[in-house]
């Protein structure tokens, strides 16, 4: 979205400035109701590269990283950023 509508601004951005919450905020601002559910193993494994998450372990560092990667993949797909 930024690349398309604000190209000069985009030129000064770095990928490290965006996080999963940024995509989630855009998603909700566009009025979408279905957010990513980190409490569903099948959803986590669908979007985590290679799957392999076998248990829900909120607040565990490795689980949080894996869940964030899966959530980012979910929003990238839903927002159409997979082709970038």
pLDDT (tens, 9 = 90+) of the chain, 84 residues, equals: 777 888 888 777 766 666 788 778 877 888 877 788 888 999 999 999 999 999 998 888 999 989 989 998 988 888 777 665
| Residues 73, 53 contacting (CB under 8 angstroms) | no
> In this predicted structure, what is the pLDDT of residue 45?
95
Domain count, the chain: 1
Question: Is 3 within the bounds of a domain?
Answer: no
Look up the domain containing 70 and give its range. 19-78
- Integer Cα distance of 63 and 54 in angstroms: 10
Cβ atoms of residues 70 and 77 within 8 Å: no
Residue 28 lies in a domain: yes
Q: What pLDDT does residue 67 have? A: 92
What confidence score (pLDDT) does residue 46 get? 94
76 vs 8, 31, 46, 68, 83, CA distance in Å?
A: 22, 16, 13, 12, 9
Cα 66 from Cα 26, distance rounded (Å): 21
Distance CA 1, CA 10 (A): 9
């Amino acid at each position: 979205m930024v690349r398309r509508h604000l190209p000069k601004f985009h030129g000064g951005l770095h990928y490290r400035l965006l996080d999963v919450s940024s995509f989630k905020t855009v998603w909700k601002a566009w009025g979408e109701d279905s957010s990513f559910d980190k409490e569903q193993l099948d959803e986590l494994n669908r979007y985590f590269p290679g799957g392999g998450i076998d248990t829900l372990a909120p607040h565990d560092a490795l689980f949080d990283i894996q869940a964030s990667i899966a959530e980012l993949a979910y929003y990238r797909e839903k927002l159409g950023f997979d082709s970038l």
